[in-house]
Chain A
């Protein structure tokens, strides 16, 4: 499907803001294998709007994909916003008339998303200490949101995730002792089942917009949302891969476990024991390790050509040392 995004945005500007509206400063921010993100602004006689377009660039199969459709993501953003969880407000769900394929438009929230800057730039010093607690509060609100019917979310607990990632690992043909140990160890230490809740599914430093005055301003990228264990979202943001050089601050490289858990409880979340978060943190490292292998495989099989893909395969050893650290500390 060949789509001229800039041309599509011009048409969309008129649809959103009326005759005379035009697009300024359109630029592609990221282009993944299946999804791309554009920042743009619409200038119209009524004023200026800063917006984000997310659009799918590869065919989507809702049955086999782990991602939700962008229509489902739109439904989720609306649902969690009603519960007071900050997601960028939905402006428009694209349809055939827009000629942009499967896509949606949200407002652009000002702030920083780069994990390393959030963790080290002095302009975040004043609010950095509040972030872990805010993350806990926001997670409690997300987890309390009734799953919207339209989103048709799938269920995945730890056993399902282990099955899924072990299958991918086996298919890769890689022989990594630490991953072997982790698969078996985590299977034998599965947490007691809990009532499944709506999860963000990719709640980590990098998917959060941080405002230097207010702290956590918005949570991005809802496409991996599913139903499962509330500790999954907490463990993922504590996974060392998302601490960006600050392993001494377990929550996202900016905060402490105790603040995350306290914020969660204060906002009405059912208490989650730290060892359950640590279990999911380990599973997070294991998942990211397998994802790094997957990205290497996508290059090795000729699916993608970028030099970035094979090099990501050399990040598996990062997740292996993280797993050894957790296993040695005891799980």
Chain B
């Protein structure tokens, strides 16, 4: 893929421009512009962190499901087994794996979100 510029550099540049013009907008559009800048920031993080997060999730789900595969395939199978009750909160290693996967996703979606698990 082209690296001059990288896609995350384009999203970053557009995000910065939105921040620049934001003060000139009416209150409703200021709010929406902030949401738009946040969306671009999430895309930027997904572009830089997404592949690694996916690989880590595959690595974590393998032992729980007993085999390897693609992220999409393993995620689908995990959903089906949880729905059927074949795996549940008592399954050894399940909650720690889910926690690690969700934390990786949260680092992309909402890195500033504070929750009970982020308490000292």
Contact = CB atoms under 8 A, between A and B. Distances in A.
Interface in A122-154: none
A205 to B, nearest CB: 14
Contacts of A318: 106, 109-110, 113, 115
Contacts of A243: 114
Contact of B106 (A175, A247, A317, A326): A317
Interface residues of A, number: 34
Main SS of the interface on chain A? helix
A282 B35 CA distance: 27
A108 interface: no
Given A248-B119, A307-B36, A311-B39, A180 B113 contact: no
Contacts of B114: 243, 245-247
B69 to A, nearest CB: 14
Interface centre among A243, A306, A310, A320, by most B CB within 10 Å? Answer: A320
B110 A177 contact: no
Contact of B95 (A245, A307, A317, A328): A328
A225 interface: no
B73 to A, nearest CB: 11
Nearest to A253: B114
A247 B118 contact: yes
Main SS of the interface on chain B? helix
B47 interface: no
Contact of A322 (B83, B88, B116): B116
Contact of A240 (B32, B95, B99, B116): B116
Nearest to A326: B116
Contacts of B38: 311
A320 B32 contact: no
Contacts of A328: 95, 99, 117
A168 to B, nearest CB: 15
A310 B39 contact: yes
Contacts of A17: none
A249 to B, nearest CB: 11
B79 A177 contact: yes
Contact of B102 (A311, A314, A315, A317): A317
Interface string A236-262: 000010010111100000000000000
Given A177-B82, A325-B115, 9 more contacts: A175-B79, A181-B89, A184-B85, A307-B32, A308-B35, A310-B39, A317-B105, A318-B106, A321-B99
17 contacts: A177-B101, A178-B102, A180-B78, A181-B88, A184-B82, A184-B83, A247-B114, A247-B116, A248-B119, A314-B109, A315-B109, A320-B98, A320-B106, A321-B113, A324-B98, A324-B99, A328-B99
Interface of A: 175-178, 180-181, 183-185, 240, 243, 245-248, 306-308, 310-311, 314-318, 320-322, 324-329
Interface of B: 32, 35-36, 38-39, 42, 75-76, 78-79, 82-83, 85, 88-89, 94-95, 98-99, 101-103, 105-106, 108-110, 113-119
